[in-house]
């Protein structure tokens, strides 16, 4: 019995957590045994021992991926919201996680700078993904959600629902 993993990726402030939490709540209401995993919370759970350099981010993303694989093998559905902008991580996920479904929450840099919920884009921090180092944009996600504000989070979930039911 295998579960599944909804890997929701995008830059900081893209709306990953909002979309992911709504999707998790919908899954739970429909009777799916699901867990919600957020990248910021997972950093704390794993001991917050990694920084924000590209290499530390890669290590963190692989921790998240391995946890998701473990949960899926045990029959649970994981909704994991994480930046993890690395082709190698997503390729590992596709090869090792049963029921893997990748959602890329895509947002323009202009929108991210305008939203700037965590102050990352205005404070000049040196390790901001997509600003201070290149990210590997997902090449073959199962779904791309354009999230520049034209749709409500609930409308985005409707798009996700239709894509999953395919």
Q: Which residues are catalytic?
A: 84
Nearest-angstrom CA–CA distance, 52 and 42? 14
For 8, list phi and psi in degrees, rounded to 5.
-105, 115
Q: CB neighbours of 163 closer than 8 A, spacing ≥ 6?
A: 142, 143
Task: Compute φ and ψ for 165, nearest 5 degrees.
Answer: -75, -20
**Helix (H) or strand (E) run with residue 21 in it:** helix 16-29
Alpha-carbon gap, residue 35 to 21, rounded angstroms: 10
- Phi, psi angles (nearest 5°) of residue 35: -125, 150
Starting from the edge strand earliest in sequence, which strands make up the sheet with 4-9, in order? 34-38, 77-82, 4-9, 100-106, 143-146
């Amino acid at each position: 019995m295998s579960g599944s993993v909804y890997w929701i990726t995008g830059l900081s402030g893209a709306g990953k957590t909002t979309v992911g939490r709504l999707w998790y709540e919908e899954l739970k209401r429909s009777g799916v045994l699901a867990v919600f995993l957020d990248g910021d919370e997972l950093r704390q759970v794993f001991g917050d021992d990694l920084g924000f350099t590209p290499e530390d981010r890669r290590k963190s993303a692989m921790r998240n991926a391995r946890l998701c694989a473990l949960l899926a093998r045990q029959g649970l559905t994981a909704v994991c919201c994480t930046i993890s902008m690395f082709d190698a991580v997503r390729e590992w996920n596709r090869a090792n996680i049963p029921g893997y479904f990748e959602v890329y929450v895509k947002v323009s840099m202009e929108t991210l700078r305008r939203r700037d919920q965590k102050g990352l884009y205005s404070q000049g921090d040196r390790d901001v993904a997509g600003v201070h180092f290149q990210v590997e944009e997902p090449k073959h996600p199962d779904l791309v959600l354009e999230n520049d504000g034209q749709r409500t989070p609930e409308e985005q979930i409707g798009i996700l629902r239709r894509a999953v039911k395919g």
